[in-house]
Amino acid sequence: MKKIYLLIAAIALIMSACNSNKVKVRGDVKDLVGTVKLLAEMPGQQGMVVLAQQEVTDGKIDLETEQLQIPARVWIDIAGKNTLTTIIDSKDQIWIQGKAKFADQIEVKGSGLDKEYNKLKKMFAEKYEGPIEPIDKNIQKLMNKEKRNANDEVMLGVFQLQRQRYIRARANYVKNLIEANPTQELSLFLLQDELQDSTDLQKRLFKLINVPNKESNLYKTVAEKMQ
């Protein structure tokens, strides 16, 4: 009988741990000393909210919060040296690493959703941002001229048109991606980040999104912005 009670107690403890909303962000940043903060946008609140704060003395980071419903986008302030942005999609897998003296190289890992989103952003950079860079340089060069002749004005118009074509192509790609993946949480990030210049399009696409978890920090914060 005693063994049965112990087994029941163990199961209850495991179930309690599984149901906990506690999210952990840990790490090891060599020689880091200072205040580390975990921040996020929270439903019903304005601006960034500090969810957890720690005075780090030995480089070991251990932040915990029960305020998040994952998935969620968070910002991690590394003692004022760098601010990392990541997506938390698990309660105990996020890890920060690096060296304090190379603050710009400090990394945060452990999120599968963040990894997938970074792949998309890399593709955007290669397919759209890369080709726009030389166009922007040409536009700036012409804009900096004290006196532009008729040919300059024509070329300026050509470059601006080329730039707009890449911007429209990117927006259309994102639109089609969201429409094809309405149940994927990445669609919420794309909607929020990539289509800021078209509120009407954002709201229309948001009505198509049907992610399984509508209680997440991600869904609720996006939903508020679409009102």
Question: What is the share, in percent, of the chain residues with pLDDT greater than 90?
Answer: 89
> What is the distance, to the nearest Å, from the Cα of residue 167 to the centroid of all Cα atoms in its chain?
21
> What does the pLDDT read at residue 20?
67
pTM assigned to the model: 0.84
Dist. CA 198–CA 190, nearest whole Å? 13
pLDDT, tens digit (0-9, with 9 covering 90-100), for 82-107? 999 999 999 999 999 999 999 999 99
